[in-house]
Chains A and B, each alone.
Chain A
Amino acid sequence: MTQTWHADDETLRSWAGGTAAPVLAASLEAHLLRCDECRRRMASLAPSTTASDAVRRWDALADEIDRPRTTPLTRLGLSTPGLRAAWLGAVLVLLLAPATVAAMGGRIPLVLAVAPLAPLAAVALAYRASVEPAGQLALATPSAGLRVVAARALVVALPAVPLGVGGALAFGLPLDVALGWLLPGAALAALVLLAGTTRVDPAVVAATLGSVWAVAVSWPPASRRMPAAAVVDLVASGPVQLTALAVAIGAIALTVARRDAVAYRRTA
């Protein structure tokens, strides 16, 4: 290809010496790939640039182009099969619940029964050793224990929250239903997080709490003991929401106080 411009000696020297600004360096590298003239001058201008320097420089450039990209999310373990499944599961639960409600003709408590299970499952799965990309290598690092478990649980649970709330509103469910599950969900998830500081398997606690919650919310209207609207009102009521908030804060505070136990028992 014919080049219409050539780099001056000073620019070539700064690139060879590694002092060129990043944008200029990138531009010059792209130019050098196409320009025989500049490559020749480059060789004559930069006697200090040894063959190994050049090889290293080109290797680094090739690395930048060829290497697979890793985002902070994948580093947190999202790319591992276990956590990816958890994330997809949480999103599906939160999107399908309002859709199911709409399809079933407005049996609203189903959303309240199912939606809190998403953060619950997220925390339970974050405790599984299988979601750790580095396996046991990670256990002897400063981040091992509560820090990495909590980070993973948040990675899974947080994106699901706006999807769940938005989905419920999009399907025409009332605001108190769309938001009413958040604090109970946080409370249940915090209790599972706390379970990880005990000898009890958090997955067992999650399954138990989730089942109890789902039955408690969906059984009364299903058995016609209480109208669906009354269940929604009860869950969205101030006392229930405040209780859920208190449980969530208390469980998280206890977990932080007992974080030492997470490091030794739950991620091994």
Chain B
Amino acid sequence: MTTTDTVTGALLATTGLTKRYGPLTAVDHVDLSLGRGIVGLLGPNGAGKTTLLRILATVLSPDAGDVRLLGLDPTEPKERLEIRRRIGFLPQSPRLYGGFTPLEMVDYVAILKEHTDKTWRRNEARAALEALGLGDRMHQRIRTLSGGMQQRVALAAALIGTPQLLVLDEPATGLDPEQRIALRSVLAGCADEGTVLLSTHNTAEVSALCQHVLVMDQGRICWSGAPEDLAAAAQGQVWESPHDEPTAVRSWLTGPGNRRHLGTPPEGARVVTSTLDDGYLLVTRLAR
């Protein structure tokens, strides 16, 4: 999969994508080219991830730049309609109507997605809810479900119709470890059909799921590559010691009497193998 090259036929491509809110540039000249597979979008709060994902889900219009989703232009009404028939979108903190049951909610979203066959809708809704571990909660009012369950209902609604492009804003929020494993399995299946772009703060999700990772900070994509390359980006720049290191660009406590440091290690430092977290922290620090 390529994500940095401008490849003809990419399922998702942007050039110079920009979105401003008054003086704030939320998305700043972003260039992307994504093919099949799962792509993780990492970045600190306020980096512009949600704005970028909303644009790529056709919910928000950009101020400048070009977008091509599934080879179509979302600024053209007819093409946007076609895109919306073929994408799934999970917004950040989705708020669902509590009076519906999960089955009704997924069925309702399927109606909005123009699926007219009731039997098909019903079967798809059941399959999506069961895949996400909600088979025994299908007929319970959404208001009585936990936050994690409501998140999975929204995810099931996003998955309905086997979308070729799935845009998920923090899909693992509120899920316990077992639910996260179920989510990974479902998303891995979706990636066979098309592109899954998901934002997360959790690097473990990225290493477990994604073939590619984008790091976003201050509206820009500041790093793009394979997860193992992001970890390798900090190789030789991570060391541990029991005390503060004035030369480190970042230091944090990892356990009683042990601190981890990022930067240029001093002479004789105990350099350790870098992780995805280290790489992420380093590239976001260097981007500033």
Complexed CA–CA distance, A268 and B55 (Å): 12
Closest residue of A by beta carbon distance from B161: A141
The reply to whether B104 and A134 contact each other, CB–CB distance below 8 Å, is no
Binds A, one of B82-90, B189-197, B249-257, B266-274: B82-90
- Flag whether A139 is at the interface (Cβ < 8 A): yes
Range for the number of chain B residues in contact with chain A: 35 or more
Fill in one digit per residue for B78-104: 1 if any A CB lies within 8 Å of its CB, else 0: 001100110111110011110111011
CB under 8 Å from chain B, chain A span 91-138: 133-138
Cβ B112 vs Cβ A67 within 8 A? no
B58 CB–A CB distance under 8 Å: yes
Out of B59, B84, B89, B96, name the residue touching A142 (CB < 8 Å): B84
Q: In the complex, which residues of chain B have a beta carbon less than 8 angstroms from the beta carbon of A264? A: 60-61
Q: Given A75-B108, A139-B59, A148-B112, is A133 in contact with B96 using a C-beta cutoff of 8 Å?
A: yes
B63 CB to nearest A CB, Å: 12
> Cα distance A67–B137 when bound, in Å?
11
Give the distance in Å from the alpha carbon of A67 to the alpha carbon of B96 in the complex.
18
* Contact (A135, B59) CB under 8 Å given A141-B109, A142-B84, A259-B77: no
Check B154 for interface membership: any CB of A closer than 8 A.
yes
Looking at A66, A79, A143, which has the most chain B CB atoms within 10 Å of its CB? A143
- The CA-CA distance from A268 to B84 in the complex, in Å, is 15
Q: B5 an interface residue at 8 Å Cβ cutoff?
A: no
- In the complex formed, the residue of B with least CB distance to A265 is B61
Chain A residue nearest in CB terms to B89: A140
B96 and A135: CB pair below 8 A?
yes
Chain A 57-95 residues near chain B, CB threshold 8 A: 63, 66-68, 70, 74-75, 79-80
Judged by a CB distance under 8 angstroms, whether B187 is at the interface is no
Considering the chains assembled together, what is the distance between the CA atoms of A137 and B157 in angstroms?
8
Min CB distance A35 to B, Å, is 27
Q: Are B87 and A140 in contact (CB under 8 A)?
A: yes
Of residues A80, A140, A142, A268, which shows the largest number of chain B Cβ atoms within 10 Å of its Cβ? A140
User: Is A142 within 8 A of B97, CB to CB?
Assistant: no
Asked whether A235 is an interface residue with its Cβ less than 8 Å from the other chain, the reply is: no
Q: Which of A237-265 contact B (CB under 8 A)?
A: 259-260, 263-264
Residues facing B in A195-214 (CB within 8 A) are none
Q: How far is the CA of A264 from the CA of B19 in the complex (A)?
A: 14
Q: Encode B19-41 as 1/0 by CB contact (under 8 A) with A.
A: 00000000000000000000000
Looking at the assembled complex, report how far the CB atom of A145 sits from the nearest CB atom of chain B, in whole angstroms. Answer: 9
The answer to whether A268 and B59 touch across the interface, beta carbons within 8 angstroms, is yes
Contact (Cβ within 8 A) B113 A141: yes
B97 near A79 with CB under 8 A, answer: yes
B residues 23-77 near A (Cβ < 8 Å) are 57-61, 77
Complex contact B114–A133 (CB within 8 A) = no
Q: Is the CB of B80 within 8 A of A138?
A: no
**B104 is contacted by which of A68, A142, A148 (Cβ under 8 Å)?**
A68
Q: A66-B139, A142-B85, A264-B60 are in contact. Are A134 and B109 (CB under 8 A)?
A: yes
CB distance from B54 to the nearest CB of A (A): 8
**A138 to B81, alpha carbons, bound, how many Å?**
13
Is A136 in contact with B112, judged by CB distance below 8 angstroms? no
Q: Is B105 an interface residue (CB 8 A)?
A: yes
Contacts of B112 in A (CB 8 A): 134, 138, 141-144, 148
Question: How far does the alpha carbon of A268 sit from the alpha carbon of B95 in the complex, in Å?
Answer: 13
Chain A residues, Cβ within 8 Å of B138: 63, 67
Q: Which residues from chain B sit less than 8 Å from chain A, CB to CB? A: 57-61, 77, 80-81, 84-85, 87-91, 94-97, 99-101, 103-105, 107-109, 111-114, 138-139, 141, 154, 157-158, 167
Residues of A within 8 A of B (CB): 63, 66-68, 70, 74-75, 79-80, 133-144, 148, 259-260, 263-264, 268
A-B contact pairs, 11 of them (CB 8 A): A70-B108, A80-B99, A133-B99, A134-B112, A135-B91, A136-B91, A137-B94, A137-B154, A142-B85, A142-B112, A148-B112
Beyond A79-B100, A137-B157, list 10 extra A-B contacts (CB 8 Å). Answer: A67-B101, A80-B99, A133-B99, A138-B112, A139-B59, A140-B58, A140-B87, A140-B89, A148-B112, A260-B80
